[in-house]
Homo-oligomer: A and B are copies of this chain.
Amino acid sequence: MRIGQLAEATGTTTKTLRFYEESGLLTPAERLASGYRDYADDAVGRIGFIHRGQAAGLTLAQIRQILKIREHGQTPCSHVRDLLGERLRELDAQIAELATLRETIAQLHANAAELEPETCSVGEVCRYV
């Protein structure tokens, strides 16, 4: 399978696939006599895994770690469990932070809807913020 076909099969671009190879997410593909990359069918599964990992909020660096462990013949299970747990804690923190920010902004916005521009003093930039 050539790179364009693989890109189409996995819903991505040839640019991205070359970028993944360069980033160590894909093992360098075999080459045809022409120099074209020639992918085995299992590449589709590997790229699917990358996409699912991304959808689960893992970074490419984390996905690369998992793939490396798999390549060393080990099962990356406990590592994946840890990564997911970590990601869960991060998400909770992030959501809490955004919720606080949302309340702050909602307050500012409510003030901005109420106060009249005339009450702005010259010395400050904007009394709403």
Chain B residues with Cβ under 8 A from A129's Cβ?
A: 49, 52-53, 56, 58, 66, 80
Say yes or no for A57: interface residue by CB 8 A criterion.
yes
Chain B residues with Cβ under 8 A from A42's Cβ?
A: 123
* CB <8 Å contact, A105 and B76: no
The quantity of this chain's copies bound in the complex is: 2
Total contacting residues, chain A, CB less than 8 A? 47
Chain B residues with Cβ under 8 A from A120's Cβ?
A: 75, 77
Chain B residues with Cβ under 8 A from A112's Cβ?
A: 77, 80-81, 84
Q: Which A residues form the contact surface with B (CB < 8 A)?
A: 42, 45-46, 49, 52-53, 55-58, 66-67, 70, 75-78, 80-81, 84-85, 87-88, 91-92, 94-95, 98-99, 101-102, 104-106, 108-109, 112-113, 115, 117, 120, 123-126, 128-129
